[in-house]
Amino acid sequence: MATYQYRCAGCGPFDVIRPIGRALAEEPCGSCAGPARRVFTAPLLARTSTHLARALHAQEASAHEPRVVTDVPAARRRPTPAVNPRQAGLPKP
């Protein structure tokens, strides 16, 4: 669906949502029912963020090629500190 902008001579601009390529040269105004001519505007070109594009690509790929998990991934662990009885009394972070 695309948003097309029209301008009524009496009421001003308004938007109409139609399928792409189905816009009419004139559209009746929603307020006064008079003819409104189509206004040609720049297309809305938005770039998808990197994180969203990566997530959409992963979602699309998983529909056709799901990854099979055979084991539980290793948890991230902090290195265990060396055991020293003198450090037992120190405050812990």
Exposure string (b/e) for 30-48, b if CB count within 10 Å is 16 or more?
Answer: eeeeeebeeeeeeeeeeee
pTM listed for this prediction: 0.48
State residue 79's pLDDT score: 67
Tell me what the pLDDT averaged over the chain comes to: 84
First-to-last C-alpha distance (Å) of the chain: 55
* Residue 26 predicted with pLDDT over 90: yes
d(CA 38, CA 21): 13
State residue 28's pLDDT score: 94
The stretch 45-54 carries a mean pLDDT of: 84
What are 12's strand-pairing partners? 8
d(CA 24, CA 42): 17
